[in-house]
Structure 1
């Protein structure tokens, strides 16, 4: 339920009357008209840009149009007054009798408050993590994993049919390296002294259990075979083992995927990659040509030769792209294009890819390829997640010995817990660098956002527990709270808190539309701040305390408010994939 929707409707109704009178053209586009809280406190409860949006089509000054809209909007039964601000904004002040409805709506809908069916069941494919299956998850994967999972939750909350997908890069040179690295550990498990790990192979200790498993399953059989015979077998075993490791790592963060799609599967049988190249060829966007050498860098794989190229520059890219390597096998780019084509064939017109920032150079080429293949039929949004830098009390964290070259996701989760990791990974926009300090994330202070929000939830739970001792008959979780005399809540701090709760559905919808789950984390921090402020005012002003032994009606109304806050905090944390806590120790 969007509690502000009726006021948006009131504005549209007012505009319709101006259209009937010929003041605003009948064909004026109204989609850009918004209704949201004003940017500055003291400028009313809501603001609309209707006069600004309609001024040009109406060939009128925004303020003149605002003056015509003002009395029509002010006639709404829940509007106290309307004022014109700046170049033509209309600021609405709502009657105090409106705000109790917000609390009752939250109590009635519970954690479903803010949910919607705006997605209308639209199928959305969210692909995230998709790390090469060559080792455990590292902290760099962690941010994209949490972002993608929270975004999927957010889209589901707003009525989309979401499929969470992991693209398994189980073909190519890195899998050959994995197979050879696993074979080395297999020989080690059979008692051979393998010495230093050769350069170019994966050195991490995480491959030792795989080597032992291979030894237990095959004995010394693979030692007697040629590489051409043992490598395919070891690669399959290694990929399966690494995927099991990855799934277990992700489970530590509460993350699971609906689909694990194999790159290798596209190269077998009908060969979907070559089929995709044939589609591009048929559309006339493929040619034989030469690519210039990379600018400003050395690329050992670059060859000055005739090769099959996609006309990527015709669709917004900076450079045409190779589709086949010199040995005739498809490039990574060609496989990626085929994969997205396959997602479309599975019914996904809307696709969201979550990539690391190091893949930013691939964005234009992927969008160019899909535009060439599918035109406007597909909507691809690629979200880039910037790097995570780990610190401990301001000092950079050293790499993990077990992983060989990086800090593992499991290392981080084991130390601070899944909830703090997930919240902090989302408490900054995905395309901004993120500093993660173990000391800061675990300290119990206002400076730690996850603690601050969880403390608000725990405080609310404490009130609901304590009220039972004073009023045993009161059910703080029941429907009876919805009948409380919520109009008794008239202190400005209480009304500020209610206004913040009323904004939750709008924040959810905006976050879903923009594919930005960090907005939920920011909102929860603001809601927690308002709740803590009210709590602190109660310490200085006894009349604002939540429980009054001699005033059950006032107690009921404030407990209703607290219960509503708790439900929204729980709802928002649920979208982020964070379990709310009821007590902090």
Structure 2
């Protein structure tokens, strides 16, 4: 049941009737007609913009359309009133029985809130994709949590989702990792070592060095790099990926696919992708224009193979292969996305760090060219996170060398707190993570506030059981006994859940789910608090069992939605607060 979708369908049906009666012209497009919660709840339960968006194409005054539409809508049993406001806004109030249907649907339909908007279309969400040179640090955390919640949201909305990690193991940084592990290997043999030339000094490599010693003994001690580099690189990459998988697990993340960049080299896969672009006359031999602004001292015009990315909205064409035959960094990324397209995905989402802003247009251009516009690519940028404690920027990690690890963060506040709080802001907004607020038990801490609502419902259920009140079949309750305006406000918020899911999935914005859960929890807490002053609103009415059953059915429906929403965010609902 999607009440907003159902009422929008009613609005469209009424518009069709008006067209059939000659009140409206035939052939009007209803694509921009919406039914949404009003900005001010005092204006009603829902509002439609139908009269406003149809006025111009219908060549009519908005209010004339609104008046005619209000008359038709008012004839439906679900509508208690349809009021025209201002120049043509139409505010709707729904009959009390509608809210009872919503509560019953939330209680009895396990799929309440899910959507078929995805229609089983295959979508690939690639996220984290950190270089395999060490444990995940806090800079990766936001993108990891965002990508995972987005994947869950899209799955909930009816898409066939693949979660993917792109292992950046094809560049020179993996050679640096191998040299760093080799130094730890020598250290494990009792040698004094010095980390120079950008090698990684973090303690996290000590275990890898010792494990390498256990595997090969002293076979590499004193040997030239060409003897051990390839083997140590593979060993070190595997060791770091094991570490990264453990970090992901600590965040509650499990990937479906780990794709190796290295697998693209020497296998013809890069050549195949570039040949595809050549066959479309999108690769040419040329010279880029000099960069704008201050000219770099080492800049010189160089002929190379260029991709016509400007034909797909980029600012300039992009090099894919240098004059000496070496691939640019862009070439394997093209090949990787070509692989995704050929795997049959209907849509792609890439979650990049904020430092990849300049990469967005070229990557979108490449996918548009490779798929001939068939496969959309949405690139989401995860802005930086700064950690604060006691009002000061917080540095925690000594083990990692120079950065704060995911494990540090999870150990400090827990997975659920980290995930929920990271999802209370839009992904492309800079975010300050305050440890004091994260553990604070107040309304200002969103994860506590939502979890507390869930715990309160379970507390009421326990007290009802102690009082011998049967709440085993909440759907059988007489919901007309929970019809106070505060109770209907909670039912109204429950009704918004399917709409929130579809809007969040359509915009790829899981933070909308977190904000909605906070609002839903607020309605439940508000109802609880009003019971302190008005005994008739208390959830337990021991002298009126039917009323108790109705009130408990209402809050259980709210908690069903809270559980579903927290599931999307990867957060475990609380049954009690400790």
TM-score normalised to the size of structure 2? 0.97
1:506-563 C-alpha deviation (Å, 9 max, x unpaired): 0111111111000000000001111111111111222211101111011111111121
C-alpha separation between the residues in 2 aligned to 1:583 and 1:299? 61
The one of 349, 364, 368 equivalent to 2:365 is 368
C-alpha separation between the residues in 1 aligned to 2:112 and 2:461? 20
1:34-64 C-alpha deviation (Å, 9 max, x unpaired): 1111111211111111112222221212111
**Equivalent in the alignment of 2:320:** 323
**Equivalent in the alignment of 2:557:** 564
Matched, 1:526 2:519: yes
C-alpha separation between the residues in 1 aligned to 2:101 and 2:521? 21
**Equivalent in the alignment of 1:392:** 389
Question: What is the SS of the residue equivalent to 1:322?
Answer: strand
**Equivalent in the alignment of 1:30:** 30
The Cα shift of 1:23 comes to 4.0
**Equivalent in the alignment of 2:430:** 433
**Equivalent in the alignment of 1:94:** 94
The Cα shift of 1:211 comes to 0.8
**Equivalent in the alignment of 2:236:** 238
C-alpha separation between the residues in 2 aligned to 1:173 and 1:328? 17
Aligned counterparts, 1:120-131, within 5 A: 120-131=119-130
Question: CA contact under 8 A between 2:126 and 2:163: conserved in structure 1?
Answer: yes
1:271-313 C-alpha deviation (Å, 9 max, x unpaired): 2112212222222222223334545689798654222221222
Question: What is the SS of the residue equivalent to 1:163?
Answer: strand
Question: What is the SS of the residue equivalent to 1:549?
Answer: coil
Question: What is the SS of the residue equivalent to 2:220?
Answer: helix
**Equivalent in the alignment of 1:577:** 570
Question: CA contact under 8 A between 1:23 and 1:58: conserved in structure 2?
Answer: no
Question: What is the SS of the residue equivalent to 1:221?
Answer: coil
Question: What is the SS of the residue equivalent to 2:109?
Answer: helix
The one of 240, 260, 263 equivalent to 1:262 is 260
C-alpha separation between the residues in 1 aligned to 2:88 and 2:372? 40
C-alpha separation between the residues in 2 aligned to 1:312 and 1:282? 15
C-alpha separation between the residues in 2 aligned to 1:436 and 1:561? 34
C-alpha separation between the residues in 2 aligned to 1:202 and 1:300? 30
Question: CA contact under 8 A between 1:134 and 1:178: conserved in structure 2?
Answer: yes
Matched, 1:404 2:401: yes
Provide structure 1 residue ranges, at least 5 long, that are not aligned to the other structure: none
C-alpha separation between the residues in 2 aligned to 1:546 and 1:151? 35
The Cα shift of 1:417 comes to 0.4
Matched, 1:554 2:551: no
Aligned residue pair count: 578
Larger mean Cα displacement after TM superposition, 428-437 or 325-334: 325-334
Question: What is the SS of the residue equivalent to 1:217?
Answer: helix
**Equivalent in the alignment of 1:143:** 142
C-alpha separation between the residues in 2 aligned to 1:190 and 1:515? 51
**Equivalent in the alignment of 1:493:** 486
Change in CA separation of 1:116 and 1:183 when aligned onto 2, cut-off 3 Å: same
**Equivalent in the alignment of 1:201:** 199
Question: CA contact under 8 A between 1:399 and 1:405: conserved in structure 2?
Answer: no
**Equivalent in the alignment of 2:68:** 68
1:411-451 C-alpha deviation (Å, 9 max, x unpaired): 00011100000000100011111110111101111111110
Provide structure 2 residue ranges, at least 5 long, that are not aligned to the other structure: none
C-alpha separation between the residues in 2 aligned to 1:300 and 1:275? 35
**Equivalent in the alignment of 2:501:** 508
C-alpha separation between the residues in 2 aligned to 1:422 and 1:302? 45
Question: CA contact under 8 A between 1:8 and 1:34: conserved in structure 2?
Answer: yes
Matched, 1:57 2:81: no
- Please tell me the root mean square deviation across aligned C-alpha atoms, in Å: 1.7
Matched, 1:223 2:216: no
Aligned counterparts, 1:142-221, within 5 A: 142-195=141-194, 197-221=195-219
**Equivalent in the alignment of 1:461:** 458
C-alpha separation between the residues in 2 aligned to 1:583 and 1:150? 24
C-alpha separation between the residues in 1 aligned to 2:177 and 2:423? 32
C-alpha separation between the residues in 2 aligned to 1:96 and 1:259? 48
C-alpha separation between the residues in 1 aligned to 2:300 and 2:359? 20
Question: CA contact under 8 A between 2:181 and 2:236: conserved in structure 1?
Answer: yes
Question: CA contact under 8 A between 2:396 and 2:408: conserved in structure 1?
Answer: no
**Equivalent in the alignment of 1:104:** 104
Change in CA separation of 1:303 and 1:186 when aligned onto 2, cut-off 3 Å: farther
Matched, 1:355 2:348: no
C-alpha separation between the residues in 2 aligned to 1:535 and 1:97? 23
Matched, 1:117 2:116: yes
C-alpha separation between the residues in 1 aligned to 2:351 and 2:476? 45
C-alpha separation between the residues in 2 aligned to 1:71 and 1:301? 74
Question: CA contact under 8 A between 2:303 and 2:323: conserved in structure 1?
Answer: no
Larger mean Cα displacement after TM superposition, 374-383 or 325-334: 325-334
The Cα shift of 1:399 comes to 5.1
The Cα shift of 1:229 comes to 2.8
**Equivalent in the alignment of 2:250:** 252
Question: CA contact under 8 A between 2:313 and 2:365: conserved in structure 1?
Answer: yes
C-alpha separation between the residues in 2 aligned to 1:87 and 1:458? 45
Matched, 1:544 2:532: no
Aligned counterparts, 1:72-83, within 5 A: 72-83=72-83
The Cα shift of 1:393 comes to 2.1
Question: CA contact under 8 A between 2:367 and 2:376: conserved in structure 1?
Answer: no
C-alpha separation between the residues in 1 aligned to 2:50 and 2:373? 30
Aligned counterparts, 1:436-455, within 5 A: 436-455=433-452
**Equivalent in the alignment of 1:484:** 477
Change in CA separation of 1:297 and 1:167 when aligned onto 2, cut-off 3 Å: farther
Larger mean Cα displacement after TM superposition, 280-289 or 482-491: 280-289
TM-score normalised to the size of structure 1? 0.96
